[in-house]
Structures are given as structure tokens and as C-alpha cells.
């Protein structure tokens, strides 16, 4: 294959966020836009020549075309083998699994995660390093710097690669291996969980509904839940990956998965419900008449980890993102293990996992995972819950309420203000940083403020630092308000406000979440002067 160096002009807007570069499809379709970013990745990877690259995505619009471009560029840049999921499909956790199992140099994931798909929606490119996890900040900053100075990219002229048939083919010096996207991942799950016990649970008449939201997890869930574990046909709904996700927003929460929620709340609902997002790294857990918050789910998995074969040796530690509720902190304290508080972004868990300091990790944004991979993993969390249900033979609600009785309940909610003018959102955060200096000692929503700060993280493994990760208003263990700008959107800015209140009295564990957090929500709005500064009288989304 002949290598061509194509002259180009740099783009100034290719700074990767917490999960790679996400833009509208129309921006990626600009001449050389995708090529420039991919070349910036390759230029930032010393030692990649002769190595193996894993490549796949969630099947969204432009996935297949982008794969063909990246294959030709990878060959031109010296990679000697590329592993591609059949049809271009690989979930984000599956990419991590394949990188680790086959000791690949790294991988490129084509996804915008839970963002909408389609010709007028979102697309994304993310690079994962050799441990299977997202590129650390030092690498993403290197990629960004290179993108602003790029003058040319390398690409081969080659025939279209057949990505729909499993097998290995040579294209000149390049070997392209099209792999079953599910096989390696399913084998890993079988090594972690008691598939026999879960199969017996389904055989007993246990009913489940899994909503793949027309995202990448459909094939994984069908193979594992229906074929290997014996769940009834039709357990997996919306199980075919679609380029536009069937016109839905593939984000597993109470708003965008409302049909599943209604099903679980119906008179003859299934025993267990779950959903995953576009690229398969998020999860939502439901029982009859109960929604399990991601923060509570992480805590419950930690408290019951010994049930699953892959975790019977115990947990060395747990980690949560700073905005995630402190429910798992109480479990860690009871187990006598450390609990690490990191910035938002799965890459911050990587060092802890690699160093053997943590076993389970989680974020409030419907993401949970463990040391089996270096990404959060939606279906893994669902299988973990199934293993617990199979062992305890209790309802989801009973498991949650028993947990609250033992550890107390953390009332928790997130209020999103989406599509804000970035300048307005930045000004809100800037003013909040000043306000933190005046808050300690004051009463907020009948709680005394013990501390307020702009969260700064020092990595305990490599000493790297991350600043301006969110403003925290702490009221001892009783309550907390957190303000943070999200880095996952492609339009405007999203300001997230997190509210948390701890309740030890089990007689008060069945109260309405929003009512219990109403005073905190009002206080947060007043402290940040949200109505005045944003023009919004209420959040866009409450989860």
C-alpha cells in the first residue's frame, strides 16, 4: 500500500474532554477533521510502530466510514495489526477487555457515549492506552497540542476492508483481524460471576427486562442473558445497534428510559430491570417500584462483593468520583478498606486500579466498574446484581432497604442546567470559587457549613494534580452541595448541581427524594444565583 502525506491546516478546537473528542457529525465531516485528530493521536504515541491497535465503536452514524479511514491511516503510520469488532461494533468496556487480553498497544473507540446519534447528532473519537483505560491527561494534552500545529497526515490508498466477516486478512504489511465483538468479553464475565447460579435464578421463573436502547450492548446482552444464562427470549429489548439509536437518547436514566421504568412500576412488572447506554459503559438498575441510584448501587455491590466468584478474595479498596454520594464511604469504613475520592472521569481510576489500591470504582453518572477492565461497564454491573439476587433470593427493594438499615440512606439527586452559554457557566463557577471563602461557619438549609472549596486532586500513585474539579460545600456528614461543569456535551455548557443529605433513622428512609432535598436545592440556587445568572428557573434534567 502506497503511503501519501496529505497537506492540511490545523484545527484549533480538537481538545479532548473527559471522554475523548466529541463534536457534531457535521464537524467530523469537514474535510480532514477526523484525519487531523487521528494523526495527532498517532504522532503522540512513541513506540507504536509494529504494534497492534484495537478499533471499534457503538455503531452510531459515521462509525463504519470512520473505521475505513482509520485503518488506512494506521497502516500508513506503522501499525502492523488492527483488531476490529465485526460490523465495526465494540462496546467501550469490550475494547478495554480486548486490549488487555491481547496485549494490544492501545485502541480507538468511536463513540459519543450516551449522547444522541444520527446525521445531525453527535460523534466522538477516544484513545485508550495499553492498560485498557482512557488516555491520561498528559497524553490528551499532548494530542491537543499536536492538533494545533499539524500540517499533514499520513494515509494509505487501499481497498475497502471487509469488516462484516470474522477472520484475518493482510493488506500489504498490515494484518486486519475482524473479531467476534462479544466472545472475549463474555468469557471474562463468566470468569467473574456464577453463571450457574444466575441460570438457576432464571429457571426458577425470575423475570427480567434489559433495555439496550438501540446501542452497542444489545448483542452482548442477548448472547449472555438469553443464550448463555437462559433468560426468556425478549428479555432484551431494543437490542439492535442503530446508527441513530432509533431516534431516542441512549442515556439510561429515569427520563430517557421511561418506558422501562413504567414497565417495572406496572402491576405485572418483571422482577428486575436494567438499561445501558450507547457505548455500553453505563447502567441503570431497577426493581419493582424502586430505582437504585448509581451511588447506592456502587455501595451495595461493595457490601456484597464476596458473593461473586471474581471478588471472593475481598476488596483492597474502593474509589468514587467526587460528586458521587458518600454511600460507598460508609461501606469502606465498615470493611476497613480505603475509599478514594477522585475527579470525574474514569481515567482518574486507572492508576489506583493498576497499583492494586482499588477493586471497585463508580461515578454518579450511571457508571460502575472494577479491576477487570479500565472502563466503567454497564453489563458487568447488571450481571453483578444478578449474582447477588441469585444468591440472596430477595427482591431488589429488600436488598436496598436492608442496606439502608445497616448503613443509613444518602438522599441524593443531580440537577442539570444544559445548553448554557459557556461564558455564563464559567462565570457562575468563578463566582462560586469566591463564595467558598465566606461559607464556612454559616448555616445552609439548616446545616452548618464545615468547609467549602474548589476540589483539587493529587494522584496518590504518580503525584499528578488536577485543579478546579468542582466547588464543594460540605456540612459534615449530614449534607453536601457540589457544583461542576460537565465535559461530555457537544453544545453549550452543562452546569451540574449535586445534592446529598444523610439519614440514619430507618423510619425516615422511605421519604420522597426531591422533597427531602428541596431545601438544599433552594439553597444551592440562591448561593449560585442560578435564576439571575442563567435565566433558568429550574434545571433541564433531574436525576
Name the percent of the chain lying above pLDDT 70: 99
Q: Which three cell numbers, joined as nine digits, stand for 406? A: 445497616
Give the tens place of pLDDT for each residue, 348-362.
999 999 999 999 999
Residues 6+ apart with CB under 8 A from 527: 432, 435, 439, 444, 473, 481
Predicted confidence (pLDDT) at residue 486 exceeds the cutoff of 90: no
Give the tens place of pLDDT for each residue, 166-185.
999 998 889 999 999 999 99
Domain 185-407 has CATH 3.40.120.10: yes
Which residue has better confidence, 284 or 542?
284
pLDDT at 154: 98
Angle at 225 between CA 220 and CA 228, to 5 degrees: 95
Give the tens place of pLDDT for each residue, 415-465.
999 999 999 999 999 999 999 999 999 998 889 999 999 999 999 999 999
Q: CATH topology of 185-407 equal to that of 409-542?
A: no
Predicted confidence (pLDDT) at residue 218 exceeds the cutoff of 70: yes
Confidence band of 271 (pLDDT split at 50, 70, 90): very high
Domain 3-181 has CATH 3.40.120.10: yes
Catalytic residues: 113
pLDDT at 307: 98
Mean pLDDT of 473-486: 92
Count CB neighbours of 148 within 10 A.
14
pLDDT at 478: 86
Mean pLDDT of 475-503: 87
**CATH classification for the domain delimited by 409-542, as one of 3.30.2010.10, 3.40.50.720, 3.30.9.10, 3.30.310.50:** 3.30.310.50
Give the tens place of pLDDT for each residue, 112-128.
999 999 999 999 999 99
Task: Tell me which H or E stretch contains 370.
Answer: strand 367-370
pLDDT at 526: 94
* Spatial strand order in the sheet of 367-370: 339-342, 318-321, 360-363, 367-370
Residues 6+ apart with CB under 8 A from 504: 408
Predicted confidence (pLDDT) at residue 212 exceeds the cutoff of 80: yes
Give the tens place of pLDDT for each residue, 314-350.
999 999 999 999 999 999 999 999 999 999 988 899 9
Query: From CA 534, how far away is CA 493, in angstroms rounded?
Result: 11
Confidence band of 541 (pLDDT split at 50, 70, 90): confident
Give the strand pairing for 465-466 and 457-458. Answer: antiparallel
Predicted confidence (pLDDT) at residue 489 exceeds the cutoff of 70: no
CA dihedral 40, 419, 415, 338 (to 10 degrees): 10
Q: Give a three-class secondary structure readout of 286-351.
A: EECCEEECHHHHHHHHHHCHHHCHHHCCCCCCEEEECCCCCHHHHHHHHHCCCEEEECCCCHHHHH
Are the beta carbons of 502 and 326 closer than 8 angstroms? yes
DSSP string covering 195-261: HHHHHHHHHTT--EEEE-TTSTHHHHHIIIIIIIS-PPTTSEES-S--TTGGGS----STTTTHHHH
Mean pLDDT of 225-243: 97
Q: What is the largest CA-CA distance in the chain?
A: 73
Are the beta carbons of 319 and 457 closer than 8 angstroms? no
- What b-and-e string marks burial along 273-297, b requiring 16 or more CB atoms within 10 Å of the CB? bbbbbbbbbbbbbbbbebbbbbbbb
pLDDT at 488: 58
Return the domain boundaries, the chain.
3-181, 185-407, 409-542
Q: Which residue, among 343, 376, 320, 374, has the nearest Cα to 137 in the 3D structure?
A: 343
pLDDT at 198: 98
Return mean pLDDT, the chain.
Answer: 95
Mean pLDDT of 524-541: 92
Confidence band of 490 (pLDDT split at 50, 70, 90): low
pLDDT at 378: 98
pLDDT at 238: 97
Predicted confidence (pLDDT) at residue 487 exceeds the cutoff of 70: no
Q: Which residue, among 294, 338, 295, 297, has the nearest Cα to 315 in the 3D structure?
A: 338
Amino acid at each position: 500500500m502506497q503511503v501519501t502525506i496529505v497537506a492540511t491546516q490545523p484545527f484549533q478546537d480538537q481538545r479532548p474532554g473527559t471522554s475523548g473528542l466529541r463534536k457534531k457529525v457535521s464537524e467530523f465531516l469537514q474535510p480532514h477533521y477526523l484525519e487531523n485528530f487521528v494523526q495527532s493521536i498517532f504522532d503522540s504515541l512513541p513506540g507504536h510502530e509494529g504494534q497492534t491497535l484495537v478499533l471499534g465503536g457503538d455503531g452510531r452514524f459515521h462509525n463504519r466510514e470512520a473505521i475505513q479511514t482509520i485503518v488506512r491511516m494506521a497502516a500508513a503510520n506503522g501499525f502492523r495489526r488492527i483488531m476490529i469488532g465485526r460490523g465495526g461494533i465494540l462496546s467501550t468496556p469490550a475494547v478495554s477487555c480486548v486490549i488487555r487480553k491481547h496485549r494490544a498497544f492501545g485502541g480507538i473507540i468511536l463513540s459519543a457515549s450516551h449522547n444522541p446519534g444520527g446525521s445531525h447528532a453527535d460523534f466522538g473519537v477516544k484513545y485508550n492506552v495499553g492498560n485498557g483505560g482512557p488516555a491520561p491527561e498528559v497524553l490528551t494534552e499532548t494530542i491537543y497540542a499536536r492538533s494545533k500545529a499539524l500540517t499533514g497526515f499520513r494515509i494509505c490508498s487501499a481497498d475497502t476492508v471487509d469488516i462484516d466477516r470474522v477472520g484475518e486478512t493482510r493488506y500489504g504489511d498490515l494484518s486486519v483481524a475482524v473479531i467476534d465483538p462479544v466472545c472475549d468479553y463474555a468469557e471474562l464475565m463468566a470468569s467473574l460471576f456464577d453463571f450457574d447460579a444466575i441460570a438457576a435464578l432464571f429457571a426458577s421463573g425470575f423475570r427480567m427486562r434489559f433495555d439496550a436502547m438501540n446501542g452497542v450492548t444489545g448483542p452482548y446482552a442477548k448472547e449472555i442473558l438469553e443464550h448463555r444464562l437462559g433468560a426468556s427470549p425478549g428479555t432484551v429489548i431494543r437490542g439492535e445497534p442503530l446508527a441513530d439509536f432509533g431516534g431516542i437518547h441512549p442515556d439510561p436514566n429515569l427520563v430517557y428510559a421511561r418506558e422501562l421504568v413504567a414497565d417495572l412500576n406496572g402491576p405485572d412488572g418483571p422482577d428486575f430491570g436494567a438499561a445501558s447506554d450507547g457505548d455500553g459503559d453505563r447502567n441503570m438498575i431497577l426493581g419493582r417500584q424502586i430505582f437504585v441510584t448509581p451511588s447506592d448501587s456502587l455501595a451495595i455491590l461493595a457490601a456484597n462483593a464476596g458473593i461473586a466468584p471474581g471478588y471472593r478474595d475481598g476488596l483492597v479498596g474502593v474509589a468514587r468520583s467526587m460528586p458521587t454520594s458518600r454511600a460507598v464511604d460508609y461501606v469502606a469504613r465498615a470493611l476497613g478498606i480505603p475509599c478514594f475520592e477522585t475527579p470525574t472521569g474514569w481515567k482518574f481510576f486507572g492508576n489506583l486500579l493498576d497499583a492494586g489500591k482499588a477493586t471497585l470504582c463508580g461515578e454518579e453518572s450511571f457508571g460502575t466498574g472494577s479491576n477487570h477492565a479500565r472502563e466503567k461497564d454497564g453489563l458487568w454491573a447488571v450481571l453483578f446484581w444478578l449474582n447477588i439476587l441469585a444468591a440472596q433470593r430477595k427482591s431488589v427493594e429488600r436488598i436496598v432497604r436492608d442496606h439502608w438499615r445497616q448503613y443509613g440512606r444518602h438522599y441524593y439527586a443531580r440537577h442539570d442546567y444544559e445548553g448554557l452559554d459557556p461564558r455564563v457557566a464559567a462565570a457562575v463557577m468563578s463566582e462560586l470559587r469566591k463564595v467558598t471563602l465566606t461559607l464556612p461557619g454559616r448555616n445552609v438549609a439548616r446545616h452548618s457549613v464545615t468547609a467549602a472549596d474548589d476540589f483539587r486532586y493529587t494522584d496518590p500513585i504518580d503525584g499528578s494534580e488536577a485543579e478546579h474539579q468542582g466547588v464543594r460545600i460540605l456540612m459534615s456528614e449530614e449534607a453536601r452541595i457540589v457544583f461542576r461543569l460537565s465535559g461530555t456535551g457537544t453544545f453549550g455548557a452543562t452546569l451540574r448541581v449535586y445534592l446529598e443529605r444523610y439519614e440514619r433513622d430507618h423510619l425516615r428512609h422511605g421519604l420522597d427524594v426531591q422533597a427531602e432535598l428541596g431545601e438544599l436545592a433552594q439553597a444551592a440556587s440562591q448561593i449560585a444565583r442560578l435564576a439571575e445568572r442563567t435565566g433558568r428557573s429550574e434545571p433541564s434534567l433531574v436525576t
